[in-house]
Amino acid sequence: MNKSGTDIQFAICGSAGDGTIASGDIVKRAAAAVGFHVIAFDVYPPEIRGFGKCISRIRVSAEQAYSLKEKTDVFISLNDSHAIPHVGEVRDFGAVIYDDRSIAPIREGAHITAHIRPAQIPYGLPIRQISEQATNAARSRNIVVLGYMAGLLKLPSRPFREVIAAKFATKPQAVIDANIRAFDAGLEAGRKVFRLDDVDVGTVPDHGGSEAVMMTGNGAIVRGFLEAGIQSYFGYPITPATSIMERLAVEMPKQGGKFLQTEDEISAIAATIGAGFAGSRAATATSGPGLALMTEMLGLGVMAEVPSVVVVSQRGGPSTGLPTKTEQSDLNLAVFGGSGDAQRIVIAPTNVEGCYRCAGMAFEIAETYQTPVIVLIDLYLSNRYETVFPSHENTFAPKPRKVPELAEGEPYKRFAFTESHISPRALPGDAGMVHTVTGLEHNELGRPGDGDHMRMNAKRHEKLISATRYPGLTVAKRFGDAGKVDVGILGWGSTFGEILEAMFEAQDAGISCSAMKAVMLSPLPVDELRAFFDDCRTVLVPELNYEGQFANLVSGALGRPVVRLNRTVATPMPVADILAEVKRLAAEADSPERIPATAGVGS
């Protein structure tokens, strides 16, 4: 939400090979360097190697933004055939920038100018021609158009030049110089144009000296892991979690960590649990198909009470599904996947900074409760860029371990029943602490046997209850109007940004509205959720899956009805869809006949 000042959304559309994503990266990094808040998300073609459509969307704001806007303010076409379907996403009086000098005949209706709407402001320039004049090649078209945009909007040019130089720093100096010339040529052309749009670049916000850092969700996971002193990582590449593994492969050896790419996901989780058993801070990362393969070993982690951390970045499913598209459909698998009663801790951050904090705290939580911890994100959050203002204090570093103390002659009971249900944990090699750990049910000593199965089941579940009050972890949080409201919006994961934007718009429309995010999904923070339900006449649960998995989880735990808003559109939840449903529910708030049901299931 942005009440005043700068709030501009850029969109750059082209084909793979046009430099679409690279130019979007330059925009967001230059804006962050100036001091603006940035949130960005790129769309790639589904093909691994192909020439499909790429779109880079960047929202630049003077105030904190929580999602991309529904309408774009400045739209840049690097490939008209791909860009034409998205012209309608440009708001009235928004700018459409395109190449107006074709080098080949164009069939009727194939040029973007045939599709620009009357209220949109066209800005045509000879992009290819300017690139060839500046660099003797057309490959810098994407840089030319960035310069033109900067000149048109009177943006500071120095941050762009610096980011361009840094982006091509590994290339010969001639490449850097050519791209700077391309930018400057576009900048000069943009400055000469009389502007007709109403895009407004205001003053740069003051962050009190804090330095903005551009991070994706996956990058934030890596930073949290490293600050937490991760010691072992075992992974197998899978979209959209692969970049976590790639970055850790580079960074972990620098601080003495051990990294291994395994032959598959089963080996990765087995090695992670094995390292956790030995006392190492160990983690792996995967997506839904990989998590499905890991469920048996996760059950071992629960039974053997071994701390481990698993990051799961969801994508469209089932099976191979939609590897390059986002979804929130692995919640059931994360919470319930596995044989028997195998409850584990599942936390789901809602933004990039949350990824950093959840990843940093996950090891400590896993060690405290001696159980696997799943950090559940999705492709939208994995690949989404945001400006983060991190603290320079590392609060995630491991604390000194206390070795259990035994009276003389007393046997060590690895799975002892205690008041907190958490047993004293020794590691292999601790003197006098020999013990047995298996996947079989066992007694307090760890020896297999079914005599204590009911008590052990209770122990493994009861010890997790206090996790909903874990110090420093926001398990749930309410936003918006306090007290009694007509409509409450309950959400989790990456969708909560769109929920917040919809809530702000609903409040502007005079609707009494609140929103709550749930970060801990297992065990559920039932007290916080119940208090929220008590204050809301109606509770709406928007989520990116067909079945309403979170709605089912919450209504089952609380015995309360909810209104479901389910979408499987392979893109982030549209703010307009949430807002429309909030308005409908607010209008019906006084209707005694209304029974909360399903809204748009699976649409």
Q: What is the CA radius of gyration of the chain?
A: 26
- Tokens matching residue 150: 């900067």
Instruction: Please determine whether the domains at 215-388 and 476-599 fall in the same fold group of CATH.
Output: yes
Mean pLDDT, residues 168-191 taken together: 96
**576-595 in b/e burial notation, b at 16+ Cβ within 10 A?**
ebbbebbbebbeeeeeeeee
Domain coordinates in residue numbering, the chain = 7-191, 215-388, 476-599
Q: Tell me the CATH architecture of domain 215-388.
A: 3-Layer(aba) Sandwich (3.40)
Residue 196 confidence (pLDDT) above 60: yes
pLDDT at 1: 45
Whole-number pLDDT of residue 272 = 98
Give me the pLDDT at residue 167, please: 95
234-264, pLDDT tens digit by residue? Answer: 999 999 999 999 999 999 999 999 999 999 9
348-385 exposure pattern, b = at least 16 Cβ within 10 A, e = fewer: bbbbbbbbbbbbbbbbbbbbbbbbbbbbbbbbbbbbbb
- Identify the pLDDT of residue 503: 98
Assess whether pLDDT exceeds 60 at residue 4: no
Residue 458 has pLDDT above 90, yes or no: yes
- Give me the helix-helix angle, 127-135 and 141-153, nearest 10°: 110
For the record, the structure tokens of 3 come out as 């009440």
Query: What are the phi and psi torsion angles at 203 (to 5°)?
Result: -75, 155
| Cα gap 340→152, rounded to integer Å | 62
Determine the pLDDT at residue 225.
97
Q: Which helix (H) or strand (E) holds 527?
A: helix 526-535
502-559 pLDDT tens trace: 999 999 999 999 999 999 999 999 999 999 999 999 999 999 999 999 999 999 999 9
pLDDT at 35: 87
Name the one residue in this structure whose structure tokens are 């002193």. 229
pLDDT value at 601 more than 60: no
Q: Which sign, positive or negative, has the C-alpha torsion 237, 241, 246, 250?
A: negative
Q: Give me the mean pLDDT over the 130-139 stretch.
A: 94
By three-state DSSP, how is residue 130 classified?
helix
Band (pLDDT 50/70/90 cuts) for residue 109 is confident
Lowest mean pLDDT among 428-437, 452-461, 463-472, 543-552: 428-437
61-104 pLDDT per residue, tens: 998 899 999 999 999 999 999 999 999 999 999 999 999 987 77
**Residue-level pLDDT at 597:** 47
Domain 7-191: top CATH class? alpha beta
Q: Are 369 and 402 in contact (CB under 8 A)?
A: no
pLDDT of residue 207: 61
Confidence of residue 45 (pLDDT cuts 50, 70, 90): confident
Average pLDDT score, the chain: 93
Residue 394 has pLDDT above 90, yes or no: no
Query: Distance of CA 464 to CAs 345, 419, 562, Å?
Result: 7, 13, 26
* CA dist 242 → 218, 311, 355, 413 (Å): 9, 11, 16, 40
Return the pLDDT at 391. Answer: 66
- Could you tell me whether strands 513-518 and 476-480 are parallel, antiparallel, or unpaired per DSSP bridges? antiparallel
* Average pLDDT of span 363-377: 97
Sorting pLDDT into bands at 50, 70 and 90, what band is 231?
very high
The whole-number pLDDT of residue 600 equals 47
Q: Which of the two residues, 534 and 404, has the higher pLDDT score?
A: 534
The predicted-structure confidence for 348-360, as pLDDT tens digits, reads as follows 999 999 999 999 9
pLDDT value of residue 5 = 77
Residue range 476-599 forms a domain whose CATH class is: alpha beta
